[in-house]
Amino acid sequence: MTEQDERFAARASYERRRRLRRVAVALLVLIVAGTLTWLVMFSSVLAVRRVAVDGETTLTESQVRSAADVRIGQPLARIDVAAIEARVASMERIQSVTVSRSWLHTVRITVVERTPVAWLTVGGAIRGLDRYGIDFRTYDKAPKGLLKAEVTATAPRPRQQTLEAVAAVVQLIEDEDPALRKQIRAVSAATKDSIQLNLTSGRTVVWGSRADSEHKLTVLKALLRIKAARYDVSAPDQPTTTG
């Protein structure tokens, strides 16, 4: 065998070994990837073992877990986060919900419950009204510390618009003027533009719509220094008093 033949044979042997190494590495990568995929997606090694609930106030953890309906033992990577969120969000007291995976074995559900700003009677039931105008829960009796809202609109869309307007005004007063809030006994409205506050000592405030509410509140603070039975801030640049 000539020197050239020897070099050719050595190079051919090297190329075969290199190809074998490539094949071996590729197989190893496939095996590792397949094993990891099986571990994560199909095995019980990273399966759901716990459902953690955060943020609940009036609801219990078990109520939220029941609504979430997360199957214990299911691989964590395969849970349908969007479906769980949708099921929990359908609970009437839930304002928002976030579901996340907490490796290695936990599904974490974080909820924000609706907070009532007033109560009203709906079909004979006492219902809590949140800041967005949603009546979201039933009470056995009128809850202490909440205003009574009387909304007489009956058609669905006008009624909802009126509830939203009433709730927005109540929330604004709650946030900006707690002292005034303590003087309010009830709030009523026939439409979204006819909100009225019923104060202590038989006084009333004609608020009108929710528009310019911050300006109306500022004007009302000054107006209440005048002894009167009726205060009208529906046109805050031209307020009036009566009685």
Supply the pTM of this predicted model.
Answer: 0.78
Q: Any idea how long the chain is?
A: 243
Q: What is the domain partition of the chain in residue ranges?
A: 1-42, 50-113, 116-242
**Mean of the per-residue pLDDT values for the chain?**
90
Give the model confidence (pLDDT) of 96-120 as tens digits.
Answer: 999 999 988 999 999 999 999 999 9
Question: What CATH class is the domain 116-242?
Answer: alpha beta
pLDDT grade for 13, boundaries at 50, 70 and 90: low
pLDDT surpassing 60 at residue 225: yes
Between the alpha carbon of residue 219 and those of residues 111, 192, 210, 234, the distances in Å are 38, 20, 14, 10
Integer CA distances (angstroms), 168 to 11, 29, 126, 156, 165, in order: 83, 60, 20, 18, 5
Encode pLDDT of 173-211 as tens digits: 999 999 999 999 999 999 999 999 999 999 999 999 999
The reported pLDDT for the residue numbered 52 is 97
Does the pLDDT of residue 234 top 90, yes or no?
A: yes
Q: Which CATH number fits domain 50-113: 3.40.50.720, 3.10.20.310, 3.40.50.2300, 3.40.50.620?
A: 3.10.20.310
- The DSSP bridge partners found for residue 219 are none
Q: For residue 54, list its beta bridge partners.
A: 110
What value does the mean pLDDT take over residues 12-30?
Answer: 68
**What are the tens digits of pLDDT across the range 42-73?**
556 778 999 999 999 999 999 999 999 999 99
The reported pLDDT for the residue numbered 25 is 67
pLDDT tens digits along 128-157: 999 999 999 999 999 999 999 999 999 999
> CA-CA distance, 147 to 150, in Å (whole number)?
10
CB burial of 171-189 (b: ≥16 within 10 Å; e: otherwise) equals: bbbbeebeebbebbeebbb
